[in-house]
Structure 1
């Protein structure tokens, strides 16, 4: 299957994305990641996505599918995921554009711990290789699949997610994920890996 293409079943309502007060914070994060090349487009396929839990609910806002090439995302390029079912691999969403192909992976991360508020998925070959070599927590399934969601759940049956808030996607070349109780925590987890990578290169 082509990278970046939605694989889950979806019931998407074309409508204005609901307003969310944390849009500015989430978009500021995305612009920083775009500037670093961790979100972007390669060979015509967008990569990288971010999301944020909506208040204390099981719902979340996530960047829309195939937006990687856009340096700035207005609110209409975020999608609201208001229901999901891991058993049927289905998502219910609302917005002007459908959610990222990784939406169910994000959903599983939110499901494993109610304290998690933000998820970052970026691409970097250097960081990906470092995390594999340092034996970070890892998934092996193809991106965006039911198997991927199941593997994420399995990783955190034995590991505290907030003490191990990064993993490498061995089945998704260049893909890594970090998350946290706040945007800052998820971002710092990513930058700590970047720092380790830079130190390795010296």
Structure 2
């Protein structure tokens, strides 16, 4: 089963506020520009009912609860934009994956995948960046590439997906690999790392290996 991109499924409590500082989005924008040029983030009228796809985030420690990290994430349906400005990013201040609730603050609503980002940060404190892209080549060859895959019947953006991601990340080899694929979310691939470079390079390395397999078959 595959799911339509871009539909927010969690309960959102959002407070409008000023955008984040420009310095906080520079690394995200740099990698987003590269991933977008490769077609891993964007908008295509022939795919996913024409909805935008792909998002990025970075962690910021929550001063009120170290076990519940806050993070900055690109806003919903911004994939079509060539370059994002601070107004296109939003803070997720609380992410309750158990009760399907997100508390956000900023000039835009968070990505529909925010719950998955939150699950990764909560499960793996060593990761500070998460990139969610759409790559048919990686997704189709996930098993051949040795990429951990969430169950096909688990829909994206839900507590079930958050739990599934947590289950996969419990394995040290998955954490070391820096990536996983979303079995029930067409073409969905997530990379993560202790830096933007680590998260980005994990995605690019998988893309190169996937293209080798595509040429081989």
**TM-score > 0.5, shorter chain as reference:** yes
- Greater helix share, 1 or 2? 2
Higher mean alpha-carbon deviation, 188-197 vs 55-64, is at: 55-64
Question: Corresponding residue for 2:21?
Answer: 19
CA contact (8 A) 1:132 1:168 kept: no
1:149 aligned onto 2:151 = no
Question: Corresponding residue for 2:39?
Answer: 37
Cα separation, 2, equivalents of 1:114 and 1:88 = 21
Question: Corresponding residue for 2:12?
Answer: 10
CA contact (8 A) 2:137 2:211 kept: no
Cα separation, 1, equivalents of 2:208 and 2:41 = 18
Cα 1:158–1:94, aligned 2, differ >3 Å: closer, same or farther? same
Question: Corresponding residue for 1:163?
Answer: 176
CA contact (8 A) 1:17 1:95 kept: yes
Cα separation, 2, equivalents of 1:86 and 1:63 = 19
Please, which of 53, 58, 75 is the counterpart of residue 47 of structure 1?
53
Specify every segment of 5 or more residues in structure 2 that has no aligned partner in the other structure, as ranges: none
Q: CA deviation at 1:21?
A: 3.1
**CA RMSD after TM alignment:** 1.7
Higher mean alpha-carbon deviation, 136-145 vs 73-82, is at: 136-145
Q: How many residue pairs were aligned? A: 202
1:87-98 to structure 2, matched below 5 A, reads 87-98=98-109
TM-score, with structure 1 as normaliser: 0.93
Specify every segment of 5 or more residues in structure 1 that has no aligned partner in the other structure, as ranges: none
Higher mean alpha-carbon deviation, 158-167 vs 116-125, is at: 158-167
Higher mean alpha-carbon deviation, 110-119 vs 130-139, is at: 130-139
CA contact (8 A) 2:145 2:209 kept: no
Higher mean alpha-carbon deviation, 113-122 vs 19-28, is at: 19-28
Cα separation, 1, equivalents of 2:82 and 2:14 = 25
Question: Corresponding residue for 1:113?
Answer: 124
SS at match of 1:179: strand
Cα separation, 1, equivalents of 2:72 and 2:162 = 18
Cα separation, 2, equivalents of 1:124 and 1:156 = 21
Cα separation, 1, equivalents of 2:19 and 2:105 = 6
Cα separation, 2, equivalents of 1:160 and 1:166 = 10
Cα separation, 1, equivalents of 2:55 and 2:190 = 10
TM-score, with structure 2 as normaliser: 0.87
Cα separation, 1, equivalents of 2:28 and 2:81 = 15
Cα separation, 1, equivalents of 2:103 and 2:184 = 26
SS at match of 1:22: helix
